[in-house]
Structure 1
Amino acid sequence: MSKVADELGIRTNLLSRWKREYKQRKGGSFLDSGKQALSPEQSEIAKLKRQL
């Protein structure tokens, strides 16, 4: 994995995080718009912050 990260010019831990998120979301880490998909808890937090 470190070779791939080096080729992409990113840190190994970032690539590992992307891989973990990809597996957790069953292949859908990011929405079509490029925005990261939020967990239900993150969505609720974002909604409450907008209400402030």
Structure 2
Amino acid sequence: MAKNKRGPWAKKEKNWRGTCPLCGRPRVKLLWDKDKTKICKRCAAKKL
């Protein structure tokens, strides 16, 4: 994982942890953008 997606930087983001709206996984980092929505790492890797 890139260093800008972990540690203190991630915690400065607003609403950085929650449930992914695409896959429904609870308590994950939501740091990747798709259509103005925050998604998890797995959904971002799928290139949906």
* TM-score where L is the length of structure 1: 0.32
**Greater relative contact order (Cα 8 A, min sep 6): structure 1 or 2?**
2
Asked which structure has the greater CA Rg, the reply is 1
More strand by share: 2
More helix by share: 1
